[in-house]
Amino acid sequence: MPTDTPAPSDLKRGREVVLTLEAFADRGKSLARVGEGDGGFVVFVAGAVPGDRVRARVFKRKRGFAEARLLEVLEASDLRTTPRCEYAATCGGCKWQHVEYPAQLAMKGEQAVSALTRARLDLGAADVRPPLGAEDRDGSGGLFFYRNKMEFSFSAMRWLTDWEIATGEAMDTEFALGLHVPGRFDKVLDLKACYLQSEWSARLVNGVRAFAKEHGWTPKHPREHTGYLRILAVRQSAHTEDRMVNLVTSHHDEGRMAAFADFLRAEFPEATTLVNTINSGVAQTAFGEAVHTVFGSGLIRDSIGPHTFEIASNAFFQTNTVAAEKLYAVAREFANLQPDDVVYDLYCGAGTISLFVADAVKKVVGVELVEEAVANARASAEANGVENCTFVAGDMLELFKPDLIEEHGRPDVLIVDPPRAGMHPKVVGQIAHLRPERIVYVSCNPQTQARDLAMLQEAAAYTIEAVQPVDMFPHTHHVESVVGLRLT
Ligand SMILES: C[S@@+](CC[C@H](N)C(=O)[O-])C[C@H]1O[C@@H](n2cnc3c(N)ncnc32)[C@H](O)[C@@H]1O
């Protein structure tokens, strides 16, 4: 057994060490400090929890830190819990299933706030709220089955778990349908169970795998870029009976799709629509160059608050419908909406925030890149009888310019909800130039949110009035953060 008090010089690649973890770190890892002085030498361990004493093997050594792979938990932290899912220790879907939920939540709150303080943003006047937790929907105390959308990957390179190897059974390693192993774009776990979406979707994964194998359909080879099957995307509405199956393939094959449609109708009749997205490119995404609706409407409908939305296969929709309502309620509160306000909902997706705030203001202008999402937003506004929302399709970088403001009016309030990468610096510059009285920044990435807000503060003085972290994704280290600002 290696020593309990390793020195920084022990942290060589391939060396086994015993570490006591003391804090959570980025990307769901935990950290230990080795040696004296200046905070010690930091070692990151994925799968470990603060308070654990573990045996681990160093696999990366850099000038300022090392990374070690968890081999054995020698003494378990009080923050540990038993994961529900047998794949939890290996799967990229839930990196924190082994962490007690209150500890997950506390860490998410800390991460959202520390990103802001590390960017030197002044929170002195801010109402910094404790993180809002997710709801326990299945009564098991485990906060599962909260996602309305899952994308399961096909791969010709299957990753075997330790316990799959230990069975000694011969396994087909050239076909996998499931989720990626963390850090591996190529290797996919062949999931027989998953507790993130629904029992139905897990059953669908098993049914589709069996069907595909029986028919000799090949999965994508991630290195050779061959194979027919790429992604099985499943959208299941939280509030209606709608269920969309989106089979992403490398090319269109009408005969195969007809057979697949017959299979679904027979074995999974709850599927209300089947679409076939064609992605012949190299990137493993559910976006493609064409979408064929095989049966049904090609849409699902789901509700947030009083409104029901149409959602196309490639339109963004918050993946946790129940938590989305809480998130939007926070955004609405932080916007302090007034009846005469002109609100811009930037990066508006299918117009969900726009409709959620529309009744409190004079008008809302939504801007969104994906045309289908804008079409969904317009259709949903009409179907819900909301008449004061206008949606504009295009790239924020191109559109968010004086012409747009001249056409639709100066914003009193901006609600921005960009993708993980945050906003383009020119967009931040344009916001600073416009100087709206109130800004609400909703983000799924506190790092880029903090970066953008620091950039904004350099150009225009805003006071951060309130911060609300919201947990939309239990058992992952991801957190949503809402920040409310007012022109100083
Ligand atoms: C995090 S989602 C938020 C959507 C919406 N606010 C919601 O709550 O459902 C970000 C949205 O930004 C859109 N988007 C990404 N890049 C964009 C760009 N350059 N211009 C406009 N919209 C963009 C994406 O298509 C996506 O719908």
The one-letter amino acid at 428 = V
Active site residue 444: yes
Q: Which atom of ligand 1 is nearest to the CA of 424?
A: 19
Q: Residue 2: what pLDDT?
A: 67
The one-letter amino acid at 22 = E
Please choose from 304, 327, 347, 391 the residue to mutate so as to test ligand 1's pocket, defined by most ligand atoms within 8 A of CB.
347
Closest CA to 470 of 319, 354, 350: 319
Q: How far is the CA of 440 from the centre of ligand 1 (A)?
A: 15
H or E, element range at 105: helix 101-118
What DSSP character marks residue 69?
E
Ligand 1 binding pocket includes 369 (Cβ within 6 Å):
yes
Please choose from 316, 322, 431 the residue to mutate so as to test ligand 1's pocket, defined by most ligand atoms within 8 A of CB.
316
Residue pointed to by tokens 């932080």: 334
Q: Residue 313: what pLDDT?
A: 96
DSSP 3-state assignment of 233?
A: strand
Report CA torsion sign: 292, 374, 329, 439.
Answer: positive
Radius of gyration (C-alpha) of the chain in whole angstroms:
24
Ligand 1 binding pocket includes 41 (Cβ within 6 Å):
no
Q: Which atom of ligand 1 is nearest to the CA of 444?
A: 1
Is the Cβ–Cβ distance between 101 and 143 less than 8 Å? yes
Q: Residue 142: what pLDDT?
A: 42
Q: How are beta strands 41-46 and 65-75 bridged, if at all?
A: parallel
Ligand 1 binding pocket includes 393 (Cβ within 6 Å):
no
Q: Residue 284: what pLDDT?
A: 85
Copy the structure tokens of residue 273: 């629509």
Q: How are beta strands 158-159 and 127-128 bridged, if at all?
A: unpaired
Nearest residue by C-alpha to atom 1 in ligand 1: 419
The one-letter amino acid at 440 = V
Is the Cβ–Cβ distance between 30 and 53 less than 8 Å? no
Nearest residue by C-alpha to atom 6 in ligand 1: 348
Question: What is the distance between the alpha carbons of residues 450 and 115, in angstroms, rounded to a whole number?
Answer: 6
Residue ranges of alpha helices (H) inside 337-399 are 352-357, 371-383, 396-399
Q: Which atom of ligand 1 is nearest to the CA of 349?
A: 27
Q: Which atom of ligand 1 is nearest to the CA of 345?
A: 6
Ligand 1 binding pocket includes 316 (Cβ within 6 Å):
yes
Phi, psi (deg, nearest 5) at residue 176: -140, 140
Ligand 1 binding pocket includes 370 (Cβ within 6 Å):
yes
Q: Is the pTM of this model over 0.85?
A: yes
Closest CA to 361 of 330, 384, 381, 335: 335
Residue pointed to by tokens 């393939």: 249
Copy the structure tokens of residue 315: 């339109």
Q: How far is the CA of 422 from the centre of ligand 1 (A)?
A: 10
Q: What is the per-residue burial (b if ≥16 Cβ within 10 Å, else e) of 258-289? A: eebbebbeeebeebbbbbbbbbeeeebebebe
Q: Which atom of ligand 1 is nearest to the CA of 420?
A: 1
Is the Cβ–Cβ distance between 466 and 436 less than 8 Å? no
Please choose from 149, 369, 424, 479 the residue to mutate so as to test ligand 1's pocket, defined by most ligand atoms within 8 A of CB.
369
Q: Residue 9: what pLDDT?
A: 81
Question: What is the distance between the alpha carbons of residues 374 and 368, in angstroms, rounded to a whole number?
Answer: 6
Question: What is the distance between the alpha carbons of residues 354 and 345, in angstroms, rounded to a whole number?
Answer: 6
Neighbours of 433 (CB within 10 A): 11
Neighbours of 199 (CB within 10 A): 12
Question: What is the distance between the alpha carbons of residues 485 and 134, in angstroms, rounded to a whole number?
Answer: 25
Q: How far is the CA of 92 from the centre of ligand 1 (A)?
A: 24
Q: How far is the CA of 103 from the centre of ligand 1 (A)?
A: 30
Ligand 1 binding pocket includes 392 (Cβ within 6 Å):
no
Ligand 1 binding pocket includes 395 (Cβ within 6 Å):
yes
Q: How are beta strands 176-178 and 273-278 bridged, if at all?
A: unpaired
H or E, element range at 152: strand 149-155
Q: How are beta strands 229-236 and 243-249 bridged, if at all?
A: antiparallel
Q: How far is the CA of 418 from the centre of ligand 1 (A)?
A: 5
pLDDT in single tens digits along all 488 residues of the chain: 666 777 888 888 999 999 999 999 988 899 999 987 666 889 999 999 999 999 999 999 998 899 999 999 999 999 999 999 999 989 988 989 999 999 999 999 999 999 999 999 999 999 999 999 987 666 655 489 999 999 999 999 999 998 999 999 999 999 999 999 988 888 999 999 999 999 999 999 999 999 999 999 999 998 998 999 999 999 999 999 999 999 999 999 999 999 999 999 999 999 999 999 999 998 888 999 999 999 999 999 999 999 999 999 999 999 999 999 999 999 999 999 999 999 999 999 999 999 999 999 999 999 999 999 999 999 999 999 999 999 999 999 999 999 999 999 999 999 999 999 999 999 999 999 999 999 999 999 999 999 999 999 999 889 999 999 999 999 999 999 999 999 99
Ligand 1 binding pocket includes 298 (Cβ within 6 Å):
no
Instruction: For each of the domains in the chain, give its residue range(s) and CATH number, in order of start.
Output: 8-75 (2.40.50.140), 103-138+304-487 (3.40.50.150), 149-300 (2.40.50.1070)
Ligand 1 binding pocket includes 352 (Cβ within 6 Å):
yes
Nearest residue by C-alpha to atom 27 in ligand 1: 349
Please choose from 319, 368, 372 the residue to mutate so as to test ligand 1's pocket, defined by most ligand atoms within 8 A of CB.
368
Q: How far is the CA of 417 from the centre of ligand 1 (A)?
A: 7
Copy the structure tokens of residue 39: 């905070």
Closest CA to 351 of 388, 320, 402: 388
Ligand 1 binding pocket includes 349 (Cβ within 6 Å):
yes
H or E, element range at 129: none
Residue ranges of alpha helices (H) inside 285-434 are 321-335, 352-357, 371-383, 396-399, 402-408, 425-434
Q: How far is the CA of 349 from the centre of ligand 1 (A)?
A: 5
Ligand 1 binding pocket includes 348 (Cβ within 6 Å):
yes
* Active-site choice (91, 194, 348, 444): 444
Ligand 1 binding pocket includes 353 (Cβ within 6 Å):
yes
